[in-house]
Structure 1
Amino acid sequence: MPKATVKLIVTGDDFGYCPRRNQGIVECFLAGAVSNVSLLVNGSAVSDAVQLARRYHIPIGLHANLSEGLPVCPALKEESSLLNKEGFFHGKMGIRTVLAEGLLKMLAIIIVIIYHCLPEIRHVFAQVLEEYGIIHTRVPIEPDLPHCSWIDPHLMDFYLGVEKDSLDTVDVFTKHGIRWPDIYIGLSTMGKNMSMSNILRAIDNATTDFLAKENASIPSSSPSCPDQGIRTVTIELMTHPGYPSVPPVGGCGEGPDDFSQSWERLHELKTLKNPELQSHYETRNIQLCAFKDL
């Protein structure tokens, strides 16, 4: 098996959701446990998040949100197929229903650009990224996911649906010159399922599988065969560290949800900051980096 250096992007998602989430993500960044963040533009603490990112020079990306809370775009607040009759986005499952029923107008997507891999939306999303010179995005296809028996069945069905949509998006993103890390992980290690052993298992299994497939596709006589040198494999690990939200503070206009109030946010924070995990990264030649370093 060819040797590899792993460049790992540990993304702290939902930066700006609430002050306690911001606090936890910043702590993780300063501890070297998170290397990139995704900014939730309609989060209640987004201004605080932006100031923190500037103060601590935190690499930042945008968390595309078409499903949760209130829109920030004035044009959408009037009337949009992206919103329900109360003026909120349709939610994680609601947007899929509206899309399947043909009720989602693509013009609304162009106005605002989690669900960038859904049918039709993927084309608009890719066009917008190309027009604005954004070359990296997330494609949530987790190699070892079907073998993760500890994931609740209803969540597994949802995750596999996300992966199917993501697989169908690859050609669209490629056409528009958009890139993403070689490997994505994070669904199998989210919340209560995050542990040092699960993170390392996911990284090791995904890297081994990726290199094996790559090696099999290159003739042994080829001068570019991975066995001729050390391959650099890029991975994004999606995380949601932070201190649990305390109502009514937080959210995207509707207050904090159960996910953000859960003890699992703190569990992720403590796991990621564990010095033993950092030590394992070093022994496995895993180097933390940001999207800008790819």
Structure 2
Amino acid sequence: MPQPRMMLVVTGDDFGYCPRRNQGIVDCFQAGGISNVSLLVNASFAKEAADLAKRHNIPIGLHANLSEGIPVCQSLQQASTLTNHCGFFHGKMGFRQALERGQVSMKQVDLELRAQVRHFRELTGHLPYHMDGHQHVHVLPEVREVFAQVLSDLRIPYTRVPVEPGLHSCPWLPAHLQRFYTQVERDALDSIPVFTRYGIRWPDVYLGLTTMGQNMSVPSLQRALSHALAAGPSGTTSSSASGSNQPVVTAELMVHPGYPSHPQEGGCGEGPDDFSQSSDRQHELNVLRDPSLLALYSQERVQLCAFKDL
């Protein structure tokens, strides 16, 4: 490939969720469809996932989880502000509501994030190359400050800032998703000064909200890449074309490939959710390894890479 116009990290989220997810992610990596994974260390099959990453040399980071399943930190498993009366995290919207009501202890968030990094290191033998948040919890008010401090202290260089160009011109997104994604974007924008202050980096462009599940197709990914290339470099990463004046755009595409979970197998302690058991995961897997998408990358001079390559 001639000098790339874009270095693209394609991150398979929720690694460790269930054996079917793990296998789908490995198959996708081997087909050239993803270049990086994000591990849920409190998921039922996290150890299997970490072993698979080692065996297949898959670059791996941490998908910090404060919203689904059981805490990793043992002192928080009984009674804590992070969990409900059953000992489970409050859920995607439940965590946000508890945070808005001022009912979440940031000291406990700090304890849990550090426990998850420690467990990641136990499973993989190294610190994560990058760390993001399951269901985008890492950009939420108050949490973002704690999250940034943890990354800074442990010298984890990269995170994810989910601000997607083209998000507001997607008529196919249902209203409830458009509302949620718009709020995620607002939180992410408010996180930028915090992450900047702590010296944390992220790719120039983020993609993935508009191409999740059935919304993923080669044309929708082509549209997303066009938006990313048009947005251009932002200066938060240092990649530039060696021997050339043309800077290279760095981008992350968040994806969720896998085979549909079997009922009662997987999850983070409560069993797999509906999205995981649906055909959406398999659909993403099929699109990501479609030869026409891989040809599009080549045609557009998009080079897949991992966070450690940026």
Same structural fold, with TM-score higher than 0.5 when normalized by the shorter chain: yes
What is the identity, as a one-letter code, of the residue corresponding to 1:191?
A: G
Match of 2:262 in 1: 246
> Take 1:105 and 1:7, find their aligned partners in 2: how far apart are those partners?
38
Give CA-to-partner distance per residue, 1:142-182, whole Å, 9 cap, x none.
Answer: 01101111111101100100110000000000000000000
Match of 2:220 in 1: 198
Give the one of 234, 251, 255 matched to 1:235: 251
Match of 2:119 in 1: none
> Take 2:193 and 2:139, find their aligned partners in 1: how far apart are those partners?
11
Q: Please give the residue correspondences for 1:37-116 in structure 2 after superposition, counting only pairs within 5 Å.
A: 37-113=37-113, 114-116=136-138
What is the identity, as a one-letter code, of the residue corresponding to 1:162?
A: V
- Checking the alignment, whether the CA contact within 8 Å between 1:4 and 1:231 is kept in structure 2 is no
TM-score, normalised relative to structure 1: 0.92
> Take 2:55 and 2:64, find their aligned partners in 1: how far apart are those partners?
23
Match of 1:16 in 2: 16
> Take 2:206 and 2:171, find their aligned partners in 1: how far apart are those partners?
18
What is the identity, as a one-letter code, of the residue corresponding to 2:171?
A: S
Give CA-to-partner distance per residue, 1:209-262, whole Å, 9 cap, x none.
Answer: 336x89xxxxxxxxx9xxx82220001000000000011101110001001001
- Identity across matched positions, percent: 57
Give the one of 138, 143, 154 matched to 2:160: 138
Match of 2:126 in 1: none
| TM-aligned CA deviation for residue 78 of structure 1 | 2.2
| TM-aligned CA deviation for residue 92 of structure 1 | 0.6
Q: Point out the structure with max Rg over C-alpha.
A: 1
Match of 1:174 in 2: 196
- Checking the alignment, whether the CA contact within 8 Å between 1:159 and 1:187 is kept in structure 2 is yes
> Take 1:105 and 1:6, find their aligned partners in 2: how far apart are those partners?
40
> Take 1:258 and 1:76, find their aligned partners in 2: how far apart are those partners?
27
> Take 1:205 and 1:74, find their aligned partners in 2: how far apart are those partners?
44
TM-score, normalised relative to structure 2: 0.88
Gaps of 5+ in 2: 114-135
Show structure 1 runs of 4+ deviating over 2 A.
none
- Checking the alignment, whether the CA contact within 8 Å between 1:16 and 1:39 is kept in structure 2 is yes
Question: How many pairs are equivalent?
Answer: 279
Q: Is it true that 1:158 corresponds to 2:174 in the alignment?
A: no
Give CA-to-partner distance per residue, 1:14-57, whole Å, 9 cap, x none.
Answer: 00000000000000111111100000011111111011001011
What is the identity, as a one-letter code, of the residue corresponding to 1:139?
A: V
| TM-aligned CA deviation for residue 4 of structure 1 | 6.7
Secondary structure of 1:288's partner? strand
- Checking the alignment, whether the CA contact within 8 Å between 2:228 and 2:251 is kept in structure 1 is no
Secondary structure of 2:227's partner? helix
Cα RMSD after superposing both structures: 1.5
- Checking the alignment, whether the CA contact within 8 Å between 1:142 and 1:184 is kept in structure 2 is yes
> Take 2:48 and 2:95, find their aligned partners in 1: how far apart are those partners?
29
> Take 1:88 and 1:257, find their aligned partners in 2: how far apart are those partners?
14
